[in-house]
Amino acid sequence: MKNMMSVVVALVLCVLVTGLPAQAQDFSHIEAILERLDAQSRFDNTDFSSVLTMVVEDVEKGIEKMVVRQFRRDDGERFLLLIQEPVTEKGQGYLLEGDNLWFYDPSSRQFAHTSLKENFQDSDARNADFGSNSYSSSYEVEGYLEGTLGNFEVYIIDLKAVDDTVPFPFVKLWVTKDSDLVLKTEEYSLTYRLMRTGLFPKYTKVGDVVMPVQMVFIDELVPGNKTQISVSEISVSDIPDHVFTKAYIERVNR
């Protein structure tokens, strides 16, 4: 009987020990990667401006080109997006002031409150795509694998949102091991349905910031719909405070 009890105890201990890694897996090095991703995407010490050229492919509407002037001030969570092309949408703008995002329509001369979660101008980009990353603060790590993507060794990281400020509650990232660059994202609904895939094939360094200058967002619900974004005319010159105001958007539309 004593020997039998020893066997039972040993088996129980074996089960407990076997279960420990799944319950107490150390994600600290993955969390550190997310913190670095966020830090290297933020223009905390300078302003930032650029021109975004967007090619929107829609299976029903065809192909449309948009040109957008972008201004960012990450210290204070501000950005301004002013549409320059097409002519029918010229002057429309998006102004982020902290937690508030406003859309301006020059035809009605009215501002309407909108959300970072919404699609940008019926494209496959979301309004949130034009600010800095918030992976470390808005998500928790659920797990990860090591693998390859093309010629790159990557961590494949599963994230779950911890607040409702982000567009998607579940995200999978493909992050390079040697340089902490996001090469690919998959974004999922609450029911874990794949909603959108993002590809980031080209980066550039601007001061201390490493940012993608080519992005592709693929609509996984409507085959054939995708949006390609190219970033040009990058500048880190100071931007006057008045640019990040409603009055400025109204003035440039007069």
- Residue 247 is part of a domain; what is its CATH number? 2.50.20.10
Residue 26's pLDDT band (cuts 50, 70, 90): confident
Number of helices and strands in the chain (H, E): 4, 13
For residue range 122-139, what is the model confidence (pLDDT) as tens digits? 999 999 999 888 999 999
Cα–Cα distances in angstroms (integers) from residue 42 to residues 1, 16, 174, 182, 205, in the given order: 66, 43, 20, 15, 12
Residue 12 lies in a domain: no
Lowest mean pLDDT among 10-19, 161-170, 187-196, 245-254: 10-19
Into how many domains does the chain fold?
1
Residue 19 lies in a domain: no
Name the region of 189 (left: φ>0; alpha: ψ -120 to 50; beta: rest): beta
Contact 210, 42 (CB under 8 A): no
Percent of the chain residues topping a pLDDT of 70: 91
Q: Is the dihedral of CA 125, 131, 135, 138 positive or negative?
A: negative
Radius of gyration of the chain (CA): 22
Residue 14 lies in a domain: no
Residue 130 lies in a domain: yes
Residue 26 lies in a domain: no
For residue range 32-84, what is the model confidence (pLDDT) as tens digits? 999 999 999 999 999 999 999 999 999 999 999 999 999 999 988 899 999 99
Length of the chain, in residues: 254
Residue 100 lies in a domain: yes
pTM metric for this prediction: 0.88
pLDDT exceeds cutoff 70 at 8: no
Task: Give residue 75's domain range.
Answer: 34-252
pLDDT exceeds cutoff 70 at 225: yes
By C-alpha distance, which of 42, 37, 39, 38 is closest to 176? 37
Q: Is the dihedral of CA 186, 190, 191, 195 positive or negative?
A: negative
Residue 190 lies in a domain: yes
Residue 13 lies in a domain: no
CA atoms within 13 A on the CB side of 95: 20
